[in-house]
C-alpha cells in the first residue's frame, strides 16, 4: 500500500513507525538528550522517537521546537523521517535545518506504530512494507 503526500524535505528513509494521533510539541514534549516523548498529554509518552519514522497529525507549541528537532539530530536521537498530516512552520523548519526527510498530507489515522515503511520524500510517497504488530 502506498500513500501520496507532499515533499517538505527531500530524502529517503526506511524503518519502523512510531505514530501519535495527537498533535506533538517538541519544546517540553520531547527530551532532546534521549529522544523520549515527555509530553503528559501525548499518546506515545515514554516512547523513544530516535531512529524511527515519526508520524503525527501536526505540531503545536513554541517556535523553539524547531531547535529541539535540531538538537535531537545533533545528539543522534532524531527520527529517521517525519510524516505529518499537516506541516506547520515549527516542525517544517526543524526538519529543514536538521535535514530530516519530511512528507505531509498523509492521513496518519491509517498508520500504526510498529509498521515498517519506506519513504521517498522527494516524490512525497510513503510505502507500507509490513503491517507491524
* Residue 20 is among the residues annotated as catalytic for this protein: no
Q: Which residues on adjacent β-strands are paired with residue 9?
A: 102
Residue 58 CA to residue 132 CA, distance in Å, equals 23
Can you read off the three cell numbers belonging to residue 99? 535535514
- Report the alpha-carbon distance of residue 74 to residue 119 in Å, rounded: 22
Q: Are 57 and 108 in contact (CB under 8 A)?
A: yes
Question: Taking the alpha carbons of 51, 53, 60, 5 in that order, is the dihedral positive or negative?
Answer: positive
- Which residue is catalytic, options 20, 62, 66, 98? 62
Which residues does the annotation mark as catalytic? 62
Amino acid at each position: 500500500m502506498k500513500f501520496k503526500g507532499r515533499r517538505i524535505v527531500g530524502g529517503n528513509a526506511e524503518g519502523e513507525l512510531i505514530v501519535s494521533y495527537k498533535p506533538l510539541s517538541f519544546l517540553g514534549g520531547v527530551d532532546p538528550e534521549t529522544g523520549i516523548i515527555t509530553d503528559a498529554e501525548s499518546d506515545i509518552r515514554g516512547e523513544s522517537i530516535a531512529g524511527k519514522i515519526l508520524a503525527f497529525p501536526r505540531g503545536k507549541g513554541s517556535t523553539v521546537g524547531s531547535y529541539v528537532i535540531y538538537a535531537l539530530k545533533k545528539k543522534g536521537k532524531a527520527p529517521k523521517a517525519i510524516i505529518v498530516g499537516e506541516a506547520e512552520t515549527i516542525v517544517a523548519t526543524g526538519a529543514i535545518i536538521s535535514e530530516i526527510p519530511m512528507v505531509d498530507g498523509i492521513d496518519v489515522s491509517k498508520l500504526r506504530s510498529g509498521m515498517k515503511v519506506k519513504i521517498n520524500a522527494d516524490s512525497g510517497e510513503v510505502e507500507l512494507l509490513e503491517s507491524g504488530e
